[in-house]
Amino acid sequence: MRFLLVLSLGIAAVLAVKQEDFKQCGQSSFCRRLKAIASRQEAAPKGAFVSPYSLGSPIDTPGASDASSWTWPMRSSLYPEIQFDLRVDVLEQGDGIVRVRVDEVGSKTPFRRYNETAKWALLDESPRLSSSAKLSSTSERSTITYGAGLSLEVQHAPFRITQLRDGRPEIVLNERSLFHMEHFRIKEQESAEELLGEGAQTVLKGGELDRSWFEEADADMFEEQWKKWRDSKPKGPEGLSIDLSFPGVQHIYGLPEHASPLSLPDTVGPNAHYTEPYRLFNVDIFEYLADSPMSLYGAIPLLHAHSSKHSVGVLDLVASDTWVDVLHTSDAVHTHWMSESGILDLLFLPGPRPDDLFSQYALLTGPTPLPPQWSTAYHQCRWNYIDEDDVLEVDQKFDEADIPLDVTWLDIEYAEEHRYFDWDQKYFADPVRMLNKVADKGRKMVAIIDPHIKRVDSFRIYTDARDLDILIKKSDGSNFEGWCWTGNSVWVDFFNPKSWEWWTRMFQFSTWKQSSPALFIWNDMNEPSVFDGPEISVPRDTIHHGGWENRDLHNINGMAFHNQTTQALIARETPNKRPFVLSRSFFAGSQRYGAIWTGDNNADWEHLHGQTAMILSNNIAGMSFCGADVGGFFGNPSTELLVRWYQAGAFAPFFRAHAHIDTRRREPYLFDEPIRGYIRDIIRLRYQMLPVWYNAFHDASLTGAAILRPQYAVFPDDERGFAIDDQYYIGSEGLLVKPVTVQGATTTQVYLSDNQPYYDYFSHRLYPAASSRTITMDTPLDKFPVLIRGGSILPIRQRVRRASPLMWQDPFTLIVALAKDGSARGQLYLDDGVGYGHERGELVWRDLAFTPKGKNGGSLSSSNKVHSEGLVGVAEVNAWAQAIGHVKVEKVVILGVDKKPASVKAGGVDLQWHYDEGVGARGKKEGGAGKLVIKNPGVSVVESWEIEVA
């Protein structure tokens, strides 16, 4: 009966969720008002619509007189009595990152705008300032010079800010005069105005000023009704409108999370792809559309603008509901950002190339830390595995089918009455016994811990949180209650520091006795999802720590929960182990805390096709550790679709199969051949390539580099690749992947940008070097495009075991794909994969290189990359290097060798080898690559060595 009740609730929720459950811009008072400014600007004669905002003379920012920080008084001719301050900082790090802030000052009301987004999003909410930038000022404008050819021109009247490099404008704030910060006011002062019915608009009149040319008011400014929900809006209107233009570009990227193309299409104008702006407002949305600007589970207010000449970025530190319109013109891309609340806090990222933007963003918000190595392997999930026997049977069936598996997941049904932490003893009588049995095979488990807490006095989590007074409050100060999987629920306010130590204690093994070191955590529903709330979330006037409303910090809420769960897992063991926590909701900076996924997708071809662009968008915005539910969460995929989804999933950073409770079971071992074999081979391929993935994760942890890199980021000069979002490269490893997302496809086209040979990973077919070409590859169901870029060296492990931790002593195979000049380069990074010894120098990091010599010869070498990277405190002989000192390279495969060599030696000793005749990397013929295979060269992965080919 319990199972049927849950099943019915799940089906009802799915069927009930429609687009009308979520607002459009015109249904939000602030968006309606702010978007109307753009309509007025567009309708006005050219040059007639001029910003009402202007600046006074700059001063050194108080308290920062020795740094590159200046403040201008700002006024609006609409409300001359209202005061604002503009502050501009030039940061010490990042090659010229500029921070621009505007806030209302001296308000006669008791209100204040939310100004703490930086506290949660940035590594340091007050980054160190440069001391070398210079300011020059006239009555008309101020100019700041800094960095390599960078300058910031601040026009006083009308207000405008332009970032330039070498005199060329790259970012313009307020070019279209759409900047507007709604000032605080008391409702009674507006009572003389004629306010019409709900949603109707009227001219704002104050004294003798006519503001109708710029702004409008409506009946919802101080109180808003949507469907059955009333928003009390105690601070009244506090919207923020900004326009950002990017001259000289035709492509902008970012604003995750949306199910949209990577290069963002227009939402306004004659070529509008959508009729609504892109929305950043974290929500729980079932069966989302595969192509839509609707808000999803995460929000990162970051944009990249790119051309063949330059790349720049903008990070808008706003956490409230935000809508963004996009308009392409012949010479620029224009964006209009409309936020419900918050100060203006913008960071200009100067680039000038995509890789620079990745590192600049990571300097601000932090890189993705190295995850546990096992978390980069395969995860098997379902809502729900019923009981201990079910879990252990799934575990055993993978072994019987010779399919590797690292993690089995438990959805909400493991918990009695969905009281997370409390195992349902009827189905999981001895959770520790089950966890130990799984761990004995080198595997792990993940259990869900959602933020909604069942409101019953018999539940310790609820009574603790109630007694500590750390729950989210209603606008009247009482504890907020709502409905979710647990029934009547409450939510912890993780902005409250009192909650942090308590939440950490909940995960201690002495507290959660039915846990173990093999159990990790999944934070779902943390937007937060409230089934009976407006837009399936909490009301905007609920109150968090510090008196802030949810409207101010809504998009940070999921990250705050994710963060504290991650810190709790780190603290539960001594010495600390790396945590793994999957979150559905995220914000700028969430990459510091773990992985995310793209949410409740559908088992259809349209969603499979769209997942690549979504994952790429997350990657360029720092959320590299992400993936999509393989097979689709809702519905039953055909076997063809399922195989294609596994192929795509195996080449995403996070690789997990998941399915709804109402779907048929689809674990890989359940299928007949050849489908089972196809899926088995794909999963095994992932395990063979785990060293490649770990290399990419390591690079991301150092520099913020995207793990999956879109075409424009790898080849920023090639305009033909700027809009491509269905293929990508894995880190800097030289692997190009294009998932097959068309039903019935037997051939697939792949675009190759650079003048290098490419090699089919599976067949070793060589596609000769040529610039900017499209190749057609055969892709029957068991094949898909995976290409090795010439000039790359891939370290793989061909011996696949049932779980990845068991592979740590296995030998390596090096695949050397020669460039057209006969060279190749790669890397191999290794550490223990679970702890923090790598931070103490316990690691192995090798530089692998093939250097051509003479006409046909060359040498393959391994050297210590730690030295070349200038890392301090890392000895070549360290604890981890000693632990794996016996691990060898068992095979070397060199592709693109056009002639049979005379000899192959290491240390003067002849090695075993054979040569397969084929075409060479230097030639212009397509065909099977000439291949040199070296067997058991006897070289160690931790030592320097050289193999000579003559």
Could you list the active site residues?
A: 524, 527, 600
Task: Count other Cβ atoms within 10 Å, centred on residue 927.
Answer: 12
- Closest by CA to 602, choosing from 932, 135, 289, 192, is 289
The residue ranges of DSSP E strands in 614-680, in sequence order, are: 626-627, 629-630, 655-657
CA pair distance 270, 267, nearest whole angstrom: 9
User: Between vectors from CA 197 to CA 196 and to CA 199, what angle results, nearest 5°?
Assistant: 100
Task: Count other Cβ atoms within 10 Å, centred on residue 100.
Answer: 21
- Closest by CA to 214, choosing from 175, 247, 241, 249, is 241
CA pair distance 122, 118, nearest whole angstrom: 5
The amino acid that residue 742 corresponds to is V
Cβ atoms of 686 and 650 closer than 8 Å: yes
- Phi and psi torsions of 799, nearest 5°: -90, 110
- Going by the DSSP 8-state scheme, the letter that residue 833 receives in this structure is S
User: What Rg do the C-alpha atoms of the chain give, in angstroms?
Assistant: 29
- Phi and psi torsions of 14, nearest 5°: -60, -50
- Closest by CA to 950, choosing from 918, 906, 919, 892, is 906
Identify the bridge partners of residue 235 per DSSP, sorted by sequence position.
none
Q: Which two tokens stand for residue 717?
A: 């000069």
Q: Where are the alpha helices (DSSP H) in 72-131?
A: 117-121
CA pair distance 56, 158, nearest whole angstrom: 11
Determine the straight-line distance between the first and last CA of the chain, rounded to whole angstroms.
Answer: 74
- Count, in order, helices (H) and strands (E) of the chain: 17, 59
Strands 168-173 and 240-247, bridge-based pairing: antiparallel
Q: What is the enclosing helix (H) or strand (E) of 391?
A: helix 388-400
CA-to-CA dists, residue 77 to 68, 239, 762, angstroms: 29, 18, 67
CA pair distance 529, 282, nearest whole angstrom: 9
The residue ranges of DSSP E strands in 854-911, in sequence order, are: 857-864, 889-895, 904-906, 909-910
Specify the long-range contacts of residues 777-781, CB closer than 8 Å, at least 24 apart. Answer: 777/747, 777/748, 777/749, 777/750, 778/746, 778/747, 779/740, 779/745, 779/746, 779/747, 779/748, 780/746, 781/640, 781/643, 781/644, 781/678
Question: Hunting for tokens 């006095």 — which residue is that?
Answer: 457
CA pair distance 762, 756, nearest whole angstrom: 18
CA pair distance 471, 511, nearest whole angstrom: 21
Cβ atoms of 644 and 282 closer than 8 Å: no
CA pair distance 241, 886, nearest whole angstrom: 62
CA pair distance 788, 761, nearest whole angstrom: 6
Cβ atoms of 928 and 918 closer than 8 Å: yes
- Going by the DSSP 8-state scheme, the letter that residue 586 receives in this structure is E
- Closest by CA to 485, choosing from 533, 461, 457, 450, is 450
- Closest by CA to 884, choosing from 837, 850, 849, 839, is 837
- Give the three-class secondary structure for 638: coil
Cβ atoms of 147 and 96 closer than 8 Å: yes
- Give the three-class secondary structure for 794: strand
